[in-house]
Amino acid sequence: MLLKEQVATLKQIDTHIQVYFAHEQSGHDYNHIKRVVNLTSRLIAIDDPQRYLALLIAYFHDVFDDKVNPTHDLKSSLMSLFSDWNLDFAELTEDIINGVAQIGYKGGYGVRHKTYAAQYVSDADILDSMGAMGIARTFYYAGSKGTPLYDPKLENVTYTTEEEYRSVQRNAIAHFDEKLLKLIDWIETPKAKVIAAKRHALMDQFYVSFYDEVAESDI
């Protein structure tokens, strides 16, 4: 169980996060953060001694995401943010920063072996990129960047580095091949694996149906 002061700190952070992401329009907004926090809370045991740490990592995991607010020095950026928000995590500070640094698929170049608390946050973040929510967020993000839904000329575009993953133009549907349908293999915690199986099946069916309809249209 969380201590009363820990609950108060989480509420304080929630208020700051809501303001911080107020104008975010790429699918990495406050509501995404809140879903990840809630999923993390669901995945990790209520009496787990690292529950508070996991929830802190969940709240901060996208504050300096390289797609929406990149930083070259995550530690300094987070430390500055903690100071601005009058947050003092004492001995947990380094664990929070290290945990945040481990979150993210990053085109398959992300950290595979995470710390205990970060595993729960990573699984929660991945789950929000799967299933109906993952499909919706994929096309929402693509629209925000002007990425085509499906252009035959961009079929089979590939990348070899994380930088190219971020910059090379390709179809929105390609995100299924390069990320969404691979995410199930990144899930680490027991409860998340059950949820992921259901969400993966839904995405797989959508992907097949999408290309069936492309074929019917003779594109």
Q: Over 70: is that where the pLDDT of 219 sits?
A: no
CA distances from 206 to 3, 43, 135 (A): 43, 26, 9
Calpha distance 16→175 (Å, rounded): 31
The tokens describing 19, both together, are 């303001």
Q: Over 70: is that where the pLDDT of 66 sits?
A: yes
Structure confidence by residue, pLDDT tens digits, 88-120: 999 999 999 999 999 999 878 788 889 999 999
Q: What is the mean pLDDT of residues 189-207?
A: 98
Q: Which residues contact 72 (CB under 8 A, 6 or more apart)?
A: none
- Angle at which helix 116-127 crosses helix 51-60, to 10 degrees, equals 50
Q: Which residues contact 190 (CB under 8 A, 6 or more apart)?
A: none
Q: Which domains, from first to last, does the chain contain?
A: 4-216 (1.10.3210.50)
Calpha distance 121→208 (Å, rounded): 29
Identify the pLDDT of residue 161: 82
Identify the pLDDT of residue 160: 81
Task: Identify which has the larger pLDDT, 106 or 209.
Answer: 209
Full-model pTM: 0.94
